[in-house]
A and B are shown apart, each in its own frame.
Chain A
């Protein structure tokens, strides 16, 4: 079996789209490229989640009303990532059915 590796090339082709979605508060489930919607990999979602968290999470926090505590904003961020992971897996299984 060929060992799997999330290469730098894969990172650069998939993670920016994930980050773009997360930044506007949308779960990064799929991306529209070459006239089709493709599901993001779980690896891309997790890497994108970390990238935005480590580099520019304040842009995500700014989406919310000023009254919302940071902990709640962060909780929403996690929920969006969970939603993306759940949905991409369901779509993958749905296509096989």
Chain B
């Protein structure tokens, strides 16, 4: 299809969002993996794939910590105010107004090296006040269950049930990665923040002492 097109059009086609046919083709060839899809016919739409909520959550709780300094958010510190929880299938989780919880997709996702994706809230849930993702980009070659940052922006509690189709994954072409980085983990649930491992802290420490 792309052969007869002028270079600018070729670029346009190669950057396009994948249609239902293209998504099904990639899924069937198991190059793009979004598994399992409970209602394949309904979930694979024109331009996106519906994704569901998993059973694992990380909840924040009140604690004696007076503030969060991202620099010190190592494993030990995080566990003082965040806890892992599992909400079984058929059970509910209540997200109170202005509360924040980490969840994950039920579907396991594997992006090939020439595709990337964006996670978006489904508008029906958005209108009810539920925000599902703030870090929405899925890199080429990434694999795992996506961490979702769920927040109730409304004024009334929202009931969350595992397997509800709360989001959508929009898949786009990307320039193929030549030398992909190997992962440190392949998550099957929500991941705690890794901010303390940020390599900028050492530089920032130096700046702090230099300018003081």
Chain A residues within 8 Å of B, Cβ to Cβ: 24-27, 29-30, 32, 35, 37, 39, 63-68, 72, 76, 79-80, 82-83, 86-88, 90-91, 93-94
Contact B182 A65 (CB under 8 A): yes
Say whether B183 contacts A64, CB under 8 Å: yes
With both chains docked as a complex, state the minimum distance between the C-beta of B25 and any C-beta of chain A, in angstroms: 12
A5 to chain B, nearest CB (A): 26
Interface size bracket, B side: 20 to 34
B181 and A25 within 8 A (CB): no
Given the complex of chains A and B, what is the CA–CA distance between A90 and B163 in angstroms? 10
Majority DSSP secondary structure for residues of A touching B: mixed
**Is the CB–CB distance between B183 and A87 below 8 Å?**
no
Contact of B210 with A by CB under 8 A = no
A-chain residues with CB within 8 Å of residue B40 when the two chains form the complex: 37
**Contact present for B185 and A68 (CB under 8 Å):** yes
Closest 5 CB pairs of A and B: A83-B188, A65-B182, A79-B188, A29-B35, A29-B36
Given A30-B35, A94-B38, 11 more contacts at CB 8 Å? A35-B28, A63-B182, A63-B183, A64-B185, A67-B184, A68-B184, A80-B188, A83-B108, A88-B36, A90-B38, A91-B36
Cα of A65 to Cα of B14 in the assembled complex, Å: 30
A49 to chain B, nearest CB (A): 14
Contacts of A91 in B (CB 8 A): 36, 38
Contact of B33 with A76 in the complex, beta carbons under 8 Å: no
B residues less than 8 Å from A32 (CB atoms): 28, 30
Task: Determine how close the nearest CB of chain B comes to the CB of A70; give it in whole angstroms.
Answer: 13
| Contact of A25 with B143 in the complex, beta carbons under 8 Å | yes
CA distance A35 to B38 in the complex (A): 16
